[in-house]
Amino acid sequence: MATLSMKPGQRFTFPDWRMNRELLVSNAERQRIASHQIRQEARALRNETNNQTIWDEHDNRTRLNERIDCVNRLKEMLDKCLTNIDIEISSLTQMKEKAERALQAKNLPLDVAIENLTLRESRRGIDVVKDPVEDELHKEVEVIDATRRDLQQKVSEAFEQLCLLQEARQQLNLDHRGKMEALEIDRTCVSLNIHSPNISYKVNPTRVPNESLSPEQWDQCSQYNKERGEAEVKASYELREAIALTIAQTDNELEAQRVATEFAFRKRVHELERALDELRWGEKNTMEEIAEMEDDIRRLEEDLRIKVWNLKLAHTRLETRTYRPNLELCRDQVQQSPN
């Protein structure tokens, strides 16, 4: 009779099998529920992170655009300030050149005044007199020297102010170039998206450079450059007004002194001409008097020659009458007569 072979090992009962099946089903159900929960949480997290990423990217793009607008406003402000400085530099340079020409123009009047004083030193005798003309000429030299000093001072001040304007312009230009580069960088960042070919991971992208500034410091630097530029432009404008006033005042002072000197010359020339006329008139009268005197002398000499013969006649008569005889030798009226 054949025997039934059985697999060696532990054999389970049907309840054990059922319990194991129920355990597997229950465990699988729990795993599916847990997996479903994880999938739901993952989907929620994915949606949340996607939305957060989209909003963060939108916020960053908005901030970049706002930053671009802010930098662009400051750049336009710097553009205007640079334009004003360039205009002021040109205007101050022209005013400085005008002052230099005015200063150069004072050389000729000074040379003329000194030449007049030198020529007047060639006067002789009593004509070497300290008259009003000499006083006015010395005063004119002093006025010209004073105007030259004032103009030279304004030229020096204009040169110094031009240096300050150039320095302020250089600082503004440096700030302007920096903002242009910053705008270019920020505009490039705005144009980037997830499909851009040149995006990649970077090493420590959240690092803060040591030389970076806070927004307040950044704004203060730009405002300082702007205010300094405006202050230098204002100072330059006031200096231009002062230079124009100095040129006008020096021209007026020199013209007034020139008129005074010319009046003194005219008055002195008139006095000299009158004195010369008087001398010529006196010379003419003297020459006429000399001529009359010479004529009288000639007449006196002629009369003297005539009187010699009369004297000889009287002498002869007197001598002849001394020969009267005896009692006739009388001192009569004829003898006592002057003739």
Whether 10 maps to a domain, the answer reads: no
Q: What is the mean pLDDT of the chain?
A: 88
- Per the domain annotation, does 212 fall within a domain? no
To the question of pTM greater than 0.75 for the whole model, the response is no
At residue 170, does pLDDT exceed 80?
yes
Q: Residues 101-121: pLDDT tens digits?
A: 999 999 999 999 989 888 888
Are 170 and 68 in a shared domain?
A: yes
Higher pLDDT, 90 or 318: 90
pLDDT of the residue at 194: 83
The answer to whether residue 9 sits within a structural domain is no
Residue 338 has pLDDT above 70, yes or no: no
Same domain, 329 and 227: no
| pLDDT given for residue 228 in this prediction | 92
Residue 8: inside a domain, yes or no?
A: no
pLDDT at site 272: 87
Residue 252 has pLDDT above 90, yes or no: yes
What pLDDT, on a 0 to 100 scale, did the predictor assign at position 184? 92
Q: Give me the pLDDT at residue 7, please.
A: 57
Distance CA 49, CA 54 (A): 8
Separation between Cα atoms, residue 64 and residue 74, nearest integer Å:
15
Higher pLDDT, 47 or 334: 47
Q: Say how many domains are in the chain.
A: 2
Tell me, yes or no, whether 262 and 178 share the same domain.
Answer: yes
Over the stretch 282-335, which tens digit does the pLDDT of each residue have? Answer: 999 999 999 999 999 998 888 888 888 878 887 887 788 788 887 777 777 776
State residue 9's pLDDT score: 62
Within-domain flag for 122: yes
Q: Hey, how many other C-beta atoms are within 10 angstroms of the C-beta on 247? A: 21
Flag whether 196 is in a domain. Answer: no
118 and 240, same structural domain?
Answer: yes
Assess whether 176 and 300 both reside in one domain. no
- 278 found inside a domain: yes
Is the pLDDT score of 339 beyond 70? no
If asked whether residues 131 and 160 sit together in one domain, one would say yes
Same domain, 49 and 131: yes
Residue 120, domain CATH = 1.10.287
Has residue 128 been placed in a domain?
yes
Query: Domain range spanning residue 311?
Result: 293-336
